[in-house]
Amino acid sequence: MMKAAGWDLDAAANSIEPNVVYAKRAHKKYAFESHICQRMFSGFQHENFSVKVDSGEVSKETFFHQFLSMREMDPLDMLGQNPDSAFGKFCTSKYLVVVHPKMEASFFGNLDQRSYINGGGHPRTPFYQVFLKLAKSIWLLHRLAYSFDPNVKVFQVKRGNEFSEVYMESVVKNLILDENDPKPRVGLMVMPGFWIGGSVIQSRVYLSGASRLELWYNLWEDIDVWIEEYGRRTTQDMLKNSQEHKKSGFDRYCGC
């Protein structure tokens, strides 16, 4: 949509994260994914996900019930039933910080959708429905993370850090490094990682600065493909680790 709206994608990517060395021009898409993730995961470390709610402390079992009850539901249907829920407030706040007014105006020629969302509405437009898929997957990760004891913790990787296969996964697959090259360093953190007790779900990073990298990669054409894959993979990893957690009594709900 940005290209169709006449955006200079090179300039936009550089404004998000300046001076990243991309092996291929197509890899600049990772700058946009990084931009979205940084904003969507902001506040993940807080129990309320930085959403103002009137309810008091929520039990871990309640978090897990919320995860189970929401994961098969259509997000727009959920919001139709309760537009002012914590999830509804989360969607509203995240949309307003992820989608810049200038971007929205260039896409649609006006800010009508933004005004509607800012007023607490949830439109049935294709653009907003794609956003809701992303919002739901990250909200569910948060519900699941806070159902563990101790809580799952999110971690980020700073630009310039040396690549670690323990804590990081390259978004570009099948890297072949010349042994004479310096070790690659992080150019972008595309998605954060997670600590689950003693286990790690790796942060996904774009590596920059290795001069003789030979690259093979699959180009994701649609952001909803990325959302679906990330949500499924991370949720499966978290559920797998939940089998080792017996104290909270979650086994009877997930059939472990």
User: What does pTM read for this prediction?
Assistant: 0.76
Residue 65 buriedness (CB in 10 A; 0-12 / 13-18 / 19+): middle
Q: What is the DSSP string of 172-232?
A: S-S-B--TTSPPPEEEEEEE-EEEETTEEEPEEEEEE--TT-B--------HHHHHHHHHH
pLDDT in tens, the chain (256 residues): 555 556 677 888 888 888 888 888 888 899 999 999 999 999 999 989 988 877 667 899 999 999 999 999 999 999 999 999 999 999 999 999 999 898 898 888 899 999 999 999 999 999 999 999 999 999 999 999 999 888 888 999 999 999 998 999 999 876 666 666 677 889 999 999 999 888 999 999 999 754 434 333 333 333 445 455 555 666 666 666 655 553 443 343 333 3
Distance CA 31, CA 254 (A): 37
Question: What are the domain boundaries of the chain?
Answer: 9-245
